[in-house]
Amino acid sequence: MAKILKLPVQPPSKLGFQRVKKRKKKDAEDQGQLNLFFAPTTSGARIVSLPSRLGPFEEALMLDERGDRQAAEKYLKAIEAGDGVADAYCNLGILESQAARNARAYDCFTQSLKLDARHLESHYNLGNLYFDDGDLRLARMHYEIAAELQPTFPNTYFNLGLALALLEDFSAAIEALNRYKELVSKEEGSKADELLASLKQSVAVQRKSKS
């Protein structure tokens, strides 16, 4: 009887998918190029090597950012070439979701996580996919993992707060949304204010009913 949460007339929409904007690499050699500076030679001179052309993943990303339909094909080529495979699967998953091919999107994000279990964007995007499909518990799990991997990425906390609110874990939802507000501008943070007010009212009623 204590539950009184009423979502705002126009509840905030969850924040969207997050593309990998730059291939994650361990060192310069992984980028398909040599280090700009090698160890000094006996004469003390340094050898400079100019960067190579864009690799398959970078080409796919460039097309993706332009909204070019060839991006999906290029991501597949990057995967075949072994160039930024986890990142390519992640970005390809977003394209599949946008095309309403959710089964393929799930597969792409899962493949990405098989290659890199700590892939931030894939956990976050998989959370979004589960959220859209109404599986809030799995959405919560992936959002929470994403928050552990990157504690300063605000979108995770906003979407986590929405999922927690719908799961009726009001106190945790308030904590997540407040964290989101700490990480963004005042203007951006205002989108969470109405929901926060509803959540705080529900928590107050719950506490009162227990006293």
Instruction: Kindly give the confidence (pLDDT) of every residue in the chain, 211 residues in length, as a single tens digit, with 9 standing for 90 and above.
Output: 445 556 554 567 888 899 998 867 643 334 433 343 334 444 555 554 444 588 999 999 999 999 999 999 999 999 999 999 999 999 999 999 999 999 999 999 999 999 999 999 999 999 999 999 999 999 999 999 999 999 999 999 999 999 999 999 999 999 999 999 999 999 999 999 999 998 988 877 777 677 6
What is the rounded end-to-end Cα distance, in angstroms, of the chain?
14
pLDDT of residue 7: 57
pLDDT at 54: 83
What whole-number distance in Å separates Cα of residue 4 and Cα of residue 156? 25
What residue type is 124 in one-letter code? Y
Q: Which of 20, 14, 19, 18 is nearest to 132 (CA)?
A: 14
Q: What number of residues does the chain have? A: 211
pLDDT at res. 61: 96
Residue from 53, 48, 47 nearest 31 by CA: 53
CA 164 – CA 137 distance, rounded (Å): 9
Report all structural domains of the chain as residue ranges with CATH numbers, in order of start.
53-117 (1.25.40.10), 137-204 (1.25.40.10)
pTM of the model: 0.81
How far is the C-alpha of 124 from the C-alpha of 108, rounded, in Å? 13
Nearest alpha-carbon partner for 122 in 153, 94, 98, 160:
94
pLDDT of residue 48: 46
